[in-house]
Structures are given as structure tokens and as C-alpha cells.
Structure 1
């Protein structure tokens, strides 16, 4: 018994939506010899250029160090983030030994004019104490030694030793640690960010790598959904007309996978189209309050040419670009307004024509819907199944959908808890089903103007 006035609190009847930044996850190689705390097969979250360089090192060699392409694209060209970088290049494995060579002192220092030198591997004849640091070119500079010439031996990174199998990764049977693409499972538990976009520049031209990327994207941590962005090789496919067959040969046909061809360039820098597409998607999502309802097609690339791997230029008019689009391939078009990404379809098109699956924009929105529902209503799991629970969930989702409709982010949406979806056997087993109806705004990829003469206007001649 209590004497006096007391009070209690009831939980709010509407649940606040859980929304986070769209996150792009890259698996590849980085010049980690340049940093002290090396992260190998470990997700590293970066919100800025400086943060990424300090974590991974940086060289303007995107062919050998693919994560540097991601760093440059996101932070230097598009200003979009965050990104999670997963480096598989291990200086203990992917290296070669360079025989002892003589180096002369220049400007009071000794410089090994090769990139990829592993500092701890340095040996200098007759010297035991010295200091090493990297210059802006990625060359290792040695100071604190005597003499005008020194004999130096060292190991150097060899990124070419990284295989597709190491990008794919798996579980280390001896330690239980994840490797390669398997590390994607650790992104959300570590950072509370969903791997919305999954990429492996250069390596994703391998159908085996692309297949694993797609599998990961379709079911992350058993609950979330993402989108894999892959490329079709410009080394082996040099004509646009051959690209669709390469796509079919590689079995690239999933709603959770986007296939791109060719590469693009800005000045002397070459980029995989998938990387710039990820930047566009991320930037569009941020501009629109975290809702990825706009198509990345017909949006500006940071490019002044489209190229093959060897640098040969590729020019596609709308007819050729549309041929690729009609086969579920995103490309680059320089027609009106400069270089633009061009293509609305995921790789399942034209084999699948369900608008939910075939459009990149609708796939992104259905991924968003799924991930929003999982993150927001996980807190309600194991609550008592009663009218309060059902009304709280349905009311909250309807409020969210109505807000998105009013802002033009979707055409409409509603939630229903129906008796026919919830038989007694399911309720007794602790299972409930809530139906969500959802209409995304599909891209207006074909606008037709009908033109005709209206003869009444000729009467103005007599006026």
C-alpha cells in the first residue's frame, strides 16, 4: 500500500524510425605497408579522406591498390561517405624479396625509389639503427645512417599475388576469423551500419567474385538486404555488342546485382564504373534525407571519357547505350549535359520484368524498407502478442509511409494485419505476419512527346 499520489509511465504508442547513412563496403587491396597499425581482413569505417589514408595508406595506383580507387572516388571526387574498407593484402604473404642494392645519398637522405617497400624488412649492411618514413610518392626514405652509399635489402608488396579466392574469403578453420567478403558479416555488429552497397573493384569482373557479392547482398546477417555493384571486364570484352553475352556467360542475373561496362577516366585516373555508381547512389540518398528513391541513371559522372582497361576510348551514342540497358547493363553516356551514368536496370533484366526487381531504384527502396523494418521493430521482438503490439507497429509504419508519400518518395503505402495471414497455429507458435503494401516511384526512363498539326492555327493568317 502506498500513501499519497504516485505516477507511472506507458511506452509511446508510436515507434521512432531507425535510419542511418547509406554505407558502401569495399573489399580489395591497399598499400598497408605505409601505416603502422595494419588492418587485414578487418572492416575499417571511414568518414573522411584523412581517416581512410591513415588507416589504409594511399597511392595513385588503382590497378594494384583497388581500395585507393574507392578512397579517391568517394572523398576526393564526390565527397560522399561513409565507406567501410576491407583490405585482404597481407605484407606477410603477398610480397617478394629484393636483393641487396646500393643506394646513394641525395639531399642528406637515402630513398628507395620503389613503392610497396615493407619498412620492417629493411636490412642495411653495417647499420642497425635508422629511421624510415614514406614520402609523397610512396617511396621509403631512410635517415639516420652514415656514409654516402648504403647496401640495402628489403621485401616489397606484390599485389598481383592476391587471388579471387582471397577476395571471396571464408572462415579460417584454425581461428574462426572471417576473411575477404565474409568480413561483411562483421560490419553491422561492429559499426551498426548496414552494408547497403557491396563492391570489389577489378576483382568483381570475375563471375565467381560477383556471385559471392550477390549472395552476400541478398541476405546480410540473416536479416538485411544490400546491392552488389560489379563490373564486366574491359580487358576481355572490348566491343559493346559483346557485353550482353559476357553477362550471360557469367550468370550475372540477379535483382541484388548491378552489372556495369566500360570503365571511365578523369584525366589520367581510371575508375571502374561500379565505384562511381556507388558514389552517385550514396550522394543521392544523402540529398534526399536518407531515402534512396531516385534512380542513379542520367546523373553526372566525375569523368571526361569512357575507356577500356588499356585506355582505348569508348564512345557510345544513345542507341548503343540503350542496347546495353536493354540487356540489364549500366553504362556511361556523353550525350546531353556531359558524361552521365546511363541505365535503370539491375542485372536480372530482361529475364525478370517485375518492377520490384528489375529497377535499381525500386530494389534500393525495397532494401531500404526491409532494413528499416528490421532495425526499427527488432525492439518489439518477444513482446506480448496483443492488440497493443499490433496497433503500435501498424500505426507507426503507416505514419512513416504517409510521410514518404507526402514527400513524393513513394506513390503510396499502407500496413494491414489480416486474420487470413495469421492462422491460429501460427499465433500459438509465436509467429505474426504483417502485410506491407508499398508502391515505389519508378524512373521515367522513356518520355514521348506526340506532335501533330492543329489546323485551327492557320486561321490566324486571316486575322
Structure 2
């Protein structure tokens, strides 16, 4: 040791490890976006983008009111306009180099007031304007301008100083985005030959890109496909081979037009995951029709925000920004309370207009009633377990490869005990305990650097049945003689 003469100070690491904050319900939404409305249509193709505001989302992905074609726009509107929840991670699978159609006019298009309005979703970089099919292409910025208006229509305006200003007809050639060419296979995705990933395979890259763990996966408009729903369910169980998260899946209202059809379809098509919230039917807000999963995402986000991002409460009986239930084709759906309760008993989330406006209704995951394990059947318990495990992994990752000693084990056990006790004190759990058990840590495991701690966790279950018992008390008849 070097010679020292005087007074000095030093520090050691804090014995209690500070927990890592996480976003419990971070939504990762897969679908299609009107990328032709953006400045760079190829920028976010199978590339996740995190958006904290409406303007960010529109700039990155574009927005269209045609939600049947552009499913991400539906979620964008609901999250930012109706529920005010952020952030949202969007994954657009529509590839303008693949999902497109070519248009070449054989005859001219009429010019009205020196303008042509095009209904197709034109990729501006491919647009060619000519006087006739045999003519040279006109010059953008010299002969004409081309831009999308607020209604998403392409407006070609002829410039007074250009060569086309007096033309009555013009010939157009272009490529247009074809959202109908996007299939379930594009949502499912996978690994490409060049090593890149597409579709749902990208779920494993969300944390490395944004330092946030996926909390909820949804794909409105595509999760009605049992194949897509199955892959979503599988991916959500092993995010990065570390985490679990929740899947929101819709039941196809074209095939299940009545609540009586739902249970058989649900079981037949495997919508029975422990981490899966199954939704039926669609919902409306005025003239706008949404998939139920889209609004449930907003409900969960608002609920988590009210609870400091701790997902310990059920999303049932919460306000929904809707004006009714319907099928995808707009047909009104009327549900009585007994009918809604029947759906709940089959592991399906729905909505009711009973008292205080429209409310979400249902506490069970898709695993119910075939599974009765409380940690797998109650949505709030399942989400709490997933969130708590996520927090544990991220908090103690810094300890990986440290020296396995009594002090090392104690630091983790005591830190975790403090963390869980704080959750109990705040009412997020009824009780919790952490133990390092010799029976769970064999000599052979310890020799390989493997050790386990055992946690006992009891988040509250929802009070889904409250009963008052009344009795006529004949003793009070004596009041007549007082």
C-alpha cells in the first residue's frame, strides 16, 4: 500500500440494490401503415419505431382513415386521440417495394381546373406525368406539383409557367401501395436469408433498440387469424428467452356474429393462452369502428398510469371511449349482463353499458375455464407476475458473473425482500417473502454457478362477485310496543 499521511474517505457499493423501472404495458403493435404519405416510404418497413405523440407517429408512418387497409392508423388514433397514452412501438410490415401495383394509363385522365385528383395510394417517387403515352415525361416542379391533401388524396397541380397548363387530359404512370397484398405471413415474418428479421420475429429486438421490455403485443385486423394469434402467443411467452408479456387477440366477428358462437370458435382455434386476453366483438365510437383489442390497449394503459405503472388491477369495469358494440361490418351488437357474464365465464373480454357508461367487462385470460390456476387465469395476477419477473431480471442482471458467496446471495435476497415489502406497503400485494432454500440449490448446481431464490407473491385478485345477504329480523317488531 502506498504511504499516506492525513485524513481520507472511501466508498463501498450500497448493500441494497435499487430496482430498475420498467414500462409494464409497453404496447408493440404489428400491422400496416400508409407509408406512401411519408417523406421516406421505406424508412420504417419491418423496423420498429417508438412514438410518444400523434405528430411523431404521423411523421414516421403516415395516417389514413381507411383502417381496413392501414391497421396501425386505428391504434394510432385510439392511443393518442382517445386515451392519451404513450409511448407506442409500431411495426409496419407493408413493404412498398413488394406490396404494390403498377398503373399505366392507356387513355388520358381529365384535367379539372388545372388539377388531377388521384384516388390510388401513389408512391410519389414513381409518378410520371405525360401529355400522351408517347410523349416525354413532364418535369416535377417545372410543369407540375404533386402532393397529398388532408384527405389522403394525391393532387397533381399544373403550373401556369409549365408546358402542361393548358392540357385537357394527361397520361399517368406510377406504382401504388397495395395494402391488400399484405398477408398473415407478413405479420408472422421470420428470419430472412440476409440475417434480418421481419414481422413478429422483431419482438426480440425491442429491448435492445429502446431499453424497454414489451408489455403487450397486438395486431388488430390480423389477430383474428388463428395462425397469427398462435405465433403471437408463442412469441409473448419467450421474449428474448427471458420475459413474458400479454397478447390481445380478437375473435373474428365475421365468423362469430352472436355471443353464442364465440366459445366454440375460441376453443377450436386455440385462443386459450395463459398470457392471452381474448376479445369480442368490435366496438364503435360514433361512426368509427374499432377492433376491441385496440380499445382494451387504451384501457390497460390508462389503468397502469393510474397505478404508477404497477399492473396489479384488473382492466375490467373500466371506462371505455366507445358508444356501442358491433360486428366488423357495423351491425349493432346488443349484450345483456347475463350474456356478457357468459362470455366472461368462457374466458372472453367484452363490454357492457350498465352503470356509468360503457365499461370493459371480464377478468379472465383465454386459459379460463380449462385452467383454474389463479396465476394463469386472472388477467391482473398474470400481468403482475410477468411485470415482477421482468423487474427482477433487469434489476439483478448487473450481478451476473459476480462471485457466488454468502455475501453475494444475501445482497440479492435482502434487496429483493426490501423491494417486495415496499410493494406490499403500497397495497400492490397482500404479502410477499423471499427465501434461499437449500432444497432448491443442489451441490451440482452450485458447482456450475447456478443458484435460485424462491419468491412467494400474493397480488390481490379482483372482487368480481360482491353479495349482500338480507334477513327479515322479527325482533324489530317489538318497536311497535314501545
Q: 1:54 maps to what in 2?
A: 59
Q: What is the CA distance between 1:165 and its match in structure 2?
A: 0.8
Structure number with greater Rg is 2
Q: Deviations over 1:360-403 (max 9, x none)?
A: 10010000111001111100101111122222111111111111
Distance in structure 1 (CA, Å) of the matches to 2:308 and 2:334: 35
Match of 2:445 among 413, 426, 445: 426
Q: What is the CA distance between 1:170 and its match in structure 2?
A: 0.3
Match of 2:176 among 136, 156, 159: 156
Q: 2:195 maps to what in 1?
A: 176
Q: 2:117 maps to what in 1?
A: 111
Name the Cα RMSD after superposition. Answer: 1.3
Q: What is the CA distance between 1:109 and its match in structure 2?
A: 4.1
Q: 2:109 maps to what in 1?
A: 102
Work out whether 1:82 is the aligned partner of 2:87.
Answer: yes
Q: Deviations over 1:239-265 (max 9, x none)?
A: 111100000111111111111100000
Q: 2:365 maps to what in 1?
A: 346
Over 6 Å off, 4+ runs: none
SS state at 1:410 partner: coil
Work out whether 1:129 is the aligned partner of 2:129.
Answer: no
Q: 1:16 maps to what in 2?
A: 18
Distance in structure 2 (CA, Å) of the matches to 1:369 and 1:231: 26
Task: Give the TM-score, by structure 2 length.
Answer: 0.93
Q: Deviations over 1:60-110 (max 9, x none)?
A: 11111000011011100000111100001111111222332414143x544
Q: 2:394 maps to what in 1?
A: 375
Distance in structure 1 (CA, Å) of the matches to 2:473 and 2:87: 55
Work out whether 1:67 is the aligned partner of 2:72.
Answer: yes
Asked if 1 retains the 8 angstrom alpha-carbon contact of 2:22 and 2:391, the reply is: no
Distance in structure 1 (CA, Å) of the matches to 2:129 and 2:112: 14
Unmatched tracts of structure 1, length 5 or more: none
Q: Deviations over 1:185-235 (max 9, x none)?
A: 111100011110000001000010000000111110110110111000001
Distance in structure 1 (CA, Å) of the matches to 2:303 and 2:98: 40
Distance in structure 2 (CA, Å) of the matches to 1:206 and 1:129: 43
Work out whether 1:394 is the aligned partner of 2:413.
Answer: yes
SS state at 1:368 partner: helix
Distance in structure 1 (CA, Å) of the matches to 2:436 and 2:125: 63
Task: Give the TM-score, by structure 1 length.
Answer: 0.97
Q: 1:138 maps to what in 2?
A: 152
Distance in structure 2 (CA, Å) of the matches to 1:153 and 1:450: 75
Q: Deviations over 1:8-31 (max 9, x none)?
A: 321111111111223100000000
Q: What is the CA distance between 1:115 and its match in structure 2?
A: 4.8
Alignment of 1:2-401 (within 5 A): 2-4=3-5, 5-21=7-23, 22-37=25-40, 38-100=43-105, 101-106=108-113, 109-112=115-118, 114-125=119-130, 126-130=137-141, 131-143=145-157, 144=159, 145=162, 146-148=164-166, 149=168, 150-173=170-193, 175-401=194-420
Q: 1:380 to 1:103 in 2, by over 3 A?
A: farther
Asked if 2 retains the 8 angstrom alpha-carbon contact of 1:196 and 1:226, the reply is: yes
Distance in structure 1 (CA, Å) of the matches to 2:381 and 2:428: 11
Q: What is the CA distance between 1:128 and its match in structure 2?
A: 2.3
SS state at 1:77 partner: helix
Asked if 2 retains the 8 angstrom alpha-carbon contact of 1:27 and 1:67, the reply is: yes
Q: 1:93 to 1:50 in 2, by over 3 A?
A: same
Asked if 2 retains the 8 angstrom alpha-carbon contact of 1:169 and 1:182, the reply is: yes
Distance in structure 1 (CA, Å) of the matches to 2:176 and 2:26: 32
Q: What is the CA distance between 1:282 and its match in structure 2?
A: 1.4
Distance in structure 1 (CA, Å) of the matches to 2:285 and 2:152: 22
Q: 2:133 maps to what in 1?
A: none
SS state at 1:54 partner: helix
Asked if 2 retains the 8 angstrom alpha-carbon contact of 1:65 and 1:159, the reply is: yes
Unmatched tracts of structure 2, length 5 or more: 131-136
SS state at 2:220 partner: coil
Distance in structure 1 (CA, Å) of the matches to 2:110 and 2:368: 58
Distance in structure 2 (CA, Å) of the matches to 1:19 and 1:161: 41
